[in-house]
Amino acid sequence: MSVVYINIFLAFTLSFMGLLIYRSHLMSSLLCLEGMMLSLFIMMTVTILANHFTLASMTPIILLVFAACEAALGLSLLVMISSTYGTDYVQNLNLLQC
Q: Which residues bind another protein (CB under 8 A)?
A: 1-8, 10-11, 14-15, 17-18, 21, 23, 25, 27-28, 30-32, 34-35, 38-39, 41-42, 45-46, 48-58, 60-62, 64-69, 71-73, 75-80, 82-83, 87-88
Query: What is the smallest separation between the CB atom of 32 and another protein, expressed in angstroms?
Result: 6
The number of residues in the chain equals: 98
Query: Which one, 52 or 94, has the nearer CB to another protein?
Result: 52
Give the Cα separation of 46 and 51 in Å (integer): 8
Query: What is the smallest separation between the CB atom of 95 and another protein, expressed in angstroms?
Result: 17
Give the Cα separation of 23 and 10 in Å (integer): 21
Query: Which one, 68 or 93, has the nearer CB to another protein?
Result: 68
Give 39: exposed, middle or buried? Use CB within 10 Å, 0-12, 13-18, 19+: buried
Neighbouring C-beta atoms of residue 82, cutoff 10 Å = 15
Query: What is the smallest separation between the CB atom of 78 and another protein, expressed in angstroms?
Result: 7
